[in-house]
Amino acid sequence: ADVTYDLGAPTARWANMYTGDLHLKNERGDWTIIEESDFLTITNNKNGKRYKFCLEEIG
């Protein structure tokens, strides 16, 4: 059985989080965000499709 825990709290927030690739999975989806050298990609792990984040510089 899956057990979930909160990381931090409204009065005890985390300042920064340093991770490798970020895997997000629940009953609705299964995704991985990957940091490439110049951009980010996101992979749908259910169907294998990959997408490139299109970011616009604002500053």
Residue 22 CB: number of other CB atoms within 10 A?
A: 13
CB 26 within 8 A of CB 16: no
Q: Which of the four pLDDT bands, split at 50, 70 and 90, describes residue 1?
A: low
Task: Please tell me the distance from the alpha carbon of residue 51 to that of residue 38, in angstroms, as a whole number.
Answer: 14
pLDDT in tens, 8-47: 999 999 999 999 999 999 999 999 999 999 999 999 999 9
CB 42 within 8 A of CB 34: yes
- Give me the phi and psi of 52, to 5 degrees please: -105, 130
Q: Where are the domains positioned within the chain?
A: 22-52
